[in-house]
Amino acid sequence: MQRIGFLRPSRVFLAAFAVFFGLSACWSLATPMFASPDETSHLVKAAATVRGEISGTKGFVLEFGIEQPMRTYRVPSAYGETVFPCFAFDNKVTPACDKKVKRDQRLLAGHGSISMWTTAGHYNPVYYALVGWPSLMFKGVGGMYLMRLVSALINSLLLAGAAALASAWRRPAFILAGLVAAATPMVLFLNGVVNPNGIEASSAVLAWMAALSLALQPDEGRRHTRVIAFVVAAAVLVNVRPLGYEWLAAILAVSMLVARKGAVKAVLRHRTTWRSLAVALPAFLFGLWWTLGNGDNATPPPALRLAFVPAAHATLNGTQWGLYCMIGLFDWVHTPAPMVTYDLWIGVVITLALVACALGRRRHCVTVLAMAVGVVVIPVVAQGIEAKHIGMAWQGRYLLAFAVGLPILAGAVLAARVQEAGLPRWADHRIALTFSAVLAFADFAAFFRALRRSMVGLNGKLLLEPIKWEPPGTWLLWVPLYALLLGAFVAFVGRASRPSPAAALPNQSTAPVLGLVRLRRP
């Protein structure tokens, strides 16, 4: 297999998996149990699924002033410890507030069973079957932490697959930068807890990467691998959350809009396409059957129901909050990352998008801009439609499967066009390395802020007042480890995007750079 940037794609996969899993596992172990959105409900669903309880007993529960559909399951007693922890909605309160957790060691050990309700009962059981099996061996919090780590492992495999596909591009620097921008702190946080949002985002990253690789850089030798990767990612995507088929349609539509001439036809003619689809057909049919037949609809009281216009207007006004939720809004979506994280992340994505418009063809630019508009408009329209049925329930993390495609698309356009623009290989390598270093700093700031909130409260002064809660292994383990892993991530991007010694500019006496400057041939 041809080396790309000194690394084989197989080695890239292993290196990327080690880094992604390490980062996600840090979130798993440094985040207090039940300190992520609806994690209790998802833990109950997972524990019930692996015990053969799929449908449960239907009913309703009053939650946030809305009569929410719920399903009841019989699970080990540890899963009935709490529905909403005492620290869930107040970022000034630490997990040390839950005295019952400290006192009742017998309950934490998981003795006995309890009838427990969950609002995730109608979700597709595939994800829960994959992550729930540790609860069969360890019925207390030990099993819950293992479930988190299994979720982190599965999601990291998907992200590592995307990294391996990116490294196989002829000029992989910008597409790798797009991948780094897609792996926001929120994606890593969700990957490290029990929540199908994580696998939804990670499978979407792989689907975007495979589809855009097929569309923008056709390569007969790698088409087989890319097709299989796309089909696997698509089969996962449609089996985790109800909007999976909508996101898959968006990925296909965007990829066809920017595809090179003949790329789509080549994929359709490739025998691997049809063989892969035939093998994965049961998964696609199961996802469709479950989505159509297992929807539970909430019924908010009249006071919480809104018409389309006021709901859409309120969502539009909350666009900034929605963007922050996709980058990093932790705990029960009540702990923000530092402003520097938001500013740097949004700045990098906007830069990638604008440069892609500058270098790409007109249809590339139109598609990138349309996706950017979609990140704002889709929640507005979706919330406007849903507000009169389920209330104002939309959160930014629900859009991650679509939004992660924006930096990947921008990076893919740049990676496909830099050679035609005459940009020297050392330049895109350094730009990708710079972007990765900037985002690594932003990521570390988000992780430290989230851990600090759990230890002393959001407004507490770390090291200047007694620590109220600490993760297993203490913060002195996870903070340096996370920093080291981010450093390894930057080094990995630099290594994978490094220009080959044999690389040269096009065989001309001069080559245009961005259409403005000409460089002499080395």
Task: With H, G, I as helix, E, B as strand and everything else as coil, classify residue 144.
Answer: helix
The four Cα atoms 488, 15, 147, 26 give a dihedral, to 10 degrees, of 0
∠ CA 453-24-124 to the nearest 5 degrees? Answer: 105
Strand pairing class (510-513; 57-63): unpaired
Which residues does 415 contact at the CB level (< 8 Å), separation at least 6?
169, 171, 172, 173, 174, 175, 216, 217, 428
Q: What is the pTM of this model?
A: 0.90
The DSSP call for residue 332 is T
Single-letter residue type at 166? A
Q: β-strands 329-330, 510-513: how paired?
A: unpaired
The conformational region for residue 359 under phi > 0 = left, psi -120 to 50 = alpha, else beta, is alpha
For residue 183, give Cα distances in angstroms to 159, 189, 243.
Answer: 8, 10, 20
Q: For 391-418, give the DSSP string.
A: -S---GGGGHHHHTHHHHHHHHHHHHHH
Question: Would the CA dihedral through 493, 346, 460, 396 be positive or negative?
Answer: negative
Q: How many residues does the chain have?
A: 522
C-alpha 208, offset from chain centre: 12
CA separation for the pair 516, 303 (Å, rounded): 59
- Measured CA to CA, the distance from residue 476 to residue 338 in angstroms comes to 21
pLDDT tens-digit readout, 340-390:
999 999 999 999 999 999 998 999 999 999 999 999 999 999 888 877 767
Query: In tens digits, what is the pLDDT along the chain, a chain of 522 residues?
Result: 344 444 677 888 999 999 999 999 999 999 998 888 888 889 999 999 999 888 877 777 666 556 677 788 888 877 775 566 777 777 788 888 765 444 433 344 445 778 888 888 889 999 999 999 999 988 788 889 999 999 999 999 999 999 999 999 988 999 999 999 999 999 999 999 999 999 999 999 999 999 999 999 888 788 999 999 999 999 999 999 889 999 999 999 999 999 999 899 999 998 888 999 999 999 999 999 998 887 666 565 555 667 788 888 888 998 999 999 999 999 888 899 999 999 999 999 999 999 999 998 999 999 999 999 999 999 999 888 877 767 677 888 999 999 999 999 999 999 998 877 777 777 888 889 999 999 999 999 999 999 999 888 887 776 657 888 888 888 889 999 999 999 999 998 988 877 554 444 333 333 333 333 333 333
**What's the pLDDT tens digit per position in 456-496?**
888 777 665 788 888 888 888 999 999 999 999 999 898 88
Say if CB 49 and CB 125 are below 8 A apart: yes
